[in-house]
Structure 1
């Protein structure tokens, strides 16, 4: 019988060694714990303390913050020890947050958000038995319900933790201290009752503010639709003064900034077209001037100056009876001092054979371009000049297919 007992004991010892070996391998394969944002908790608090290296602590994972049963994003959750912040998190879109807390400390979790009453919860892990700290714990489902703050409210009681969690030696878990919670709930009920009148007045003020806000947004939208962006901008800014966190007026203001920037670019373009028109008008290049002034009127439809210039040019053209179709002028055009490149001599001879002596002018459109074509023939030499005017204001000049400047056009094609 003693022999069997020794065999059994040997088998048991062997099994235990095997389990320890497998467990060690599993620990090596295990990855360091990360928070819900994928960041390591290591060295976040307590100097060189690395929470990844402590398998036995309190995990807070299934934790949320709400307001009126709706998940609340952007709540700052500070973990304090002896009044100092050692760790912090901010609730995500689902109102969630998470922590891993080391034993042997008494923590206070402070829940902070603008326009809400700051609430606190105590988690006491300072007096846990040594045996209890050989295991890890999970706080379980946790929900902090926030309340709105109104000026004049009594919030002194909220400076004390509304709830407390501690190690329960009977159930061997970390759980809510129900006796503490019950007393705090009774006290807070009295305070909340006293605050009801303040909150009621706040609700009435909020409704008045909402009405004023709605009127401003309505007026802003009307001006926006009418394309009076500057006035719409003023209304949206006034609305933001009432409700600074609203997204809609911010979005509209961003759109308006884009439109106003376009208007600024349009002003620059308008001035450029006026300068271009004036320059062409001064050298009697009426076709270019006319197009520039007309494009300027499309940008500023109510401006008188470009319209007056258009009428003036049309009057001048009528007085001169300038031809629009192909014509021959009696003016003598000379190509004696015009240089013809070697590669263009063939084209020059063809033009001289095809067109009559002197000037032949054609004006026509291709898509969004107006093209003025002038062919000058002098003896057996012909030269083709083109002026291409884009409806957006650009003007380009060509001589026998090669780009030239405005000076060449005036000196050789107009003479």
Structure 2
């Protein structure tokens, strides 16, 4: 009848508008009402299938997002725990993992930067203070480096007293760290050291490259 057709068209029109606005639950109800009014009409049935398909996709996306959020929060929390325990390499590794999970998040990048700056400031204080001639002091210092620095090669640059410039390279292999320094004086002289001992430029270059 005409009244049924009017109601049917009203539900379909409303359902179409809600589907466009991605109000899937409301759209589903309206197309179900239209389908009850005119069971032989295919349009509302097709729309109900379309809604179900879209809702399946959305549920999948939501599940994936939840999984990503949980993984991100887990490694961020681990990173903060490592940081609290002064395990800086593990903290940096955790924050890098978090950044890989959510590349657009600024916080993990900031935490990595903050830790690297903190390390740099700590190391700047130590640079002039390490007495490599004292075996116990040197061993403690190198074991600290092995704990703080990631596996591989880390390069840092400092301005030291007397106009010197120091390039310090920490080489950490299998948990054993060595401190290499290239010291450039303001008058042009350049000297090379390994754990406080003078070495040749050739040896310095050889041992501080991958």
State the TM-score, normalizing by the size of structure 1.
0.27
Structure richer in helix, relative to its length = 2
State the TM-score, normalizing by the size of structure 2.
0.50
Structure richer in strand, relative to its length = 1
Higher relative contact order (CA 8 A, sep 6+): 2
Larger radius of gyration: 1
